[in-house]
């Protein structure tokens, strides 16, 4: 068990530190790992691309700061909307909260229960 824990620390701690946070989490799905990888590539490649394509001036630095601020603002807005949409239930659990909040509302013709 200690060997597995040491391997996990090496894989997620040391490797993530050496690469600036890029690691694949086996507990997450493929979609989450892909999003994490593309965000990491964007945040790594943007300053390198700007420095390679444009001269280092204060205007380029301001452009970089604006793009990164807009990116984090968009992530924050999406996170806020998802929390507002999915965290409606109380501590006991609300049957209409959670993932059911993402479904379209039922029409009156469908009724509340199964047919019969």
Q: Which residue has the tokens 């597995």?
A: 4
Chain centroid to Cα 58, Å, comes to 30
Give which of 6, 37, 7 is closest to 22, Cα–Cα. Answer: 37
Which range has the worst mean pLDDT, 14-18, 24-28, 83-87? 14-18
pTM of the model: 0.58
Tell me the per-residue pLDDT of 62-105, one tens digit each, with 9 for 90 and over.
999 999 999 999 999 999 998 888 886 655 555 555 555 556 66
Would you kindly state where each structural domain of the chain is located, as residue ranges? Answer: 25-87
């Amino acid at each position: 068990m200690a060997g597995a824990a040491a391997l996990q620390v090496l894989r997620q701690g040391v490797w993530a530190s050496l690469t600036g946070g890029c690691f694949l989490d086996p507990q997450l799905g493929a979609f989450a790992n892909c999003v994490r990888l593309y965000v990491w590539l964007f945040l790594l490649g943007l300053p390198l691309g700007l420095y390679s394509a444009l001269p280092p001036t204060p205007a380029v630095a301001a452009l970089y700061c604006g793009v990164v601020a807009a990116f984090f603002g968009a992530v924050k807005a999406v996170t806020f909307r998802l929390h507002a949409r999915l965290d409606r239930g109380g501590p006991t659990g609300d049957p209409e909260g959670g993932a059911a909040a993402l479904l379209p509302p039922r029409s009156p013709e469908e009724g509340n229960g199964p047919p019969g």
